[in-house]
Amino acid sequence: MISDERQRAVMEHRLSGLKRPESGWSAPVRSEALAHIQRVGLPSRRDEYWKFTRPDTLVQASAPKAALFDNDESPVFGEVDRLKVVFVDGVFDLELSDELALEGIVIDRLAAVGDQGSHWAESVYGKLEQRGQDPVVRPLAALNTAFATDGILIDVQQTPSKPISLIYVHANETSDAILHHVIRVNEGAAVTILETGPAAARFNKCMEIELADDSELHHVRAQGRDHERRAATHMFALLGARSQFKSFTLTVNGRLTRNEIYTELSGENSSAHIAGACVGDGEFHHDDTVFVTHDAENCDSRQVFKKVLRNGATGVFQGKILVKPGAQKTDGYQISQSLLLDDDSQFLAKPELEIYADDVACSHGSTSGAINEEALFYLRARGIERAEATDLLTLAFLREAVEEIESETLADEIVSRLMAWLLRHRPE
């Protein structure tokens, strides 16, 4: 409950500039989401899961100005045959997008079908987000559910022939985008979802994923290089029996990024692998907050997060594995590590295990350190310049996270982007 008048004022000021759809199949859950926000308020530094990250610019009424970034690189995944779905400052762009049709899937836009009387997404939209509000409240996700007016609804009935690529373009210095995606993968189907781009000056995105028995979803995300952008993203995944969920995120640049992932393994023999790599320089704050719930037998989960920080950059990792009673034979693994390339940067970590079953194998670890001087000396003794040797060791440090990507082609693309960033940021 909101106990602070200032927090209530912040909430009311933020909500005053937003309008939510009040008709159609999504209206009831939107009302519930709004009521939830009005009960708990928007996040503040007093909240346990926000003590490492200042939410001020994420909850203020208007988006802070973010200068447009002239990216001279080729588009990420540009060589991959994919179905392109483009949003410019949170608005669907018909001309830049491909036709929303692909064998094996049905795609709708939330803006086009949200006012209808019924839709298959009604059973998912906002429902997984609600499940993820307990035991940790996620008010920015509820804000998204209540007020998002567009997004993509994807019903994967059979395995499509190519990935679906969600491309986010930042074109306005004060854009404030809210998008909500829903993905349902039916029994026996598999799909790959790609996400790229900075999206807006401030971006609030929610993605809900429902995996039926024996289904797979592979998610690879490269968040845009805009220096001043801010983003709060949320993923909620519910896994059926023998399903597989794999998600990897690359983050470079950005003033403030918070990626929250809530995954619930509710079917036996399901698997969830969540990984991320970030490289930050200067005024850079990156927060990964992950919650994995095991609620069925013989399931496994992995959390692998690596951060490279320099020139005062800050990295945050909050990861939890919850094993419920009856979730025997659980195999849970969590590792978060940072490589600090100077004395000004910092890494803040809060790993957690909460276990209510007795036949499990769970582990977590978190470390922070500098470049290994012995390894650096070894490379330099073989004629490799210090800057190049440092880059090679940095890539080796990040590789465990990148190896979580199923596709070698996509993994190679991520490595090339990391190498390009390191080359651009070599000390002069």
**What is the pLDDT at residue 7?**
83
**What is the pLDDT at residue 413?**
96
Q: 2-11, 14-23, 90-99, 295-304: lowest mean pLDDT where?
A: 2-11
**What is the pLDDT at residue 282?**
93
Q: Indicate the pLDDT class of residue 17, thresholds 50, 70 and 90.
A: confident
**What is the pLDDT at residue 427?**
73
The arithmetic mean of pLDDT across residues 64-83, rounded, is 91
C-alpha pair distances (Å), 276 with each of 44, 101, 134, 221, 355: 25, 30, 24, 9, 24
**What is the pLDDT at residue 1?**
64
- Scan for tokens 């809210």, then name that residue: 178
The arithmetic mean of pLDDT across residues 270-279, rounded, is 97
Separation between Cα atoms, residue 128 and residue 108, nearest integer Å: 19
**What is the pLDDT at residue 219?**
98
Q: Is the pLDDT of residue 3 over 80?
A: no
Q: Could you tell me which of 285, 161, 167 has the C-alpha nearest to residue 231?
A: 285
| The amino acid at 65 | K
Q: Could you give the angle at which helices 27-40 and 5-16 cross, rounded to 10 degrees?
A: 150
Which pLDDT tens digit goes with each residue over 391-418?
Answer: 999 999 999 999 999 999 999 999 999 9
Q: Quick one: 383 exposed, middle or buried, by C-beta within 10 A (0-12, 13-18, 19+)?
A: exposed
Which pLDDT tens digit goes with each residue over 120-172?
Answer: 999 999 999 999 999 999 999 999 999 999 999 999 999 999 999 999 999 99
Q: Indicate the pLDDT class of residue 278, thresholds 50, 70 and 90.
A: very high
Separation between Cα atoms, residue 32 and residue 357, nearest integer Å: 33
H or E element: which one contains 347?
Answer: strand 346-355
**What is the pLDDT at residue 240?**
98
C-alpha pair distances (Å), 19 with each of 26, 146, 148, 411: 14, 9, 9, 40
The arithmetic mean of pLDDT across residues 354-361, rounded, is 97
Which pLDDT tens digit goes with each residue over 281-331?
Answer: 999 999 999 999 999 999 999 999 999 999 999 999 999 999 999 999 999
**What is the pLDDT at residue 85?**
98
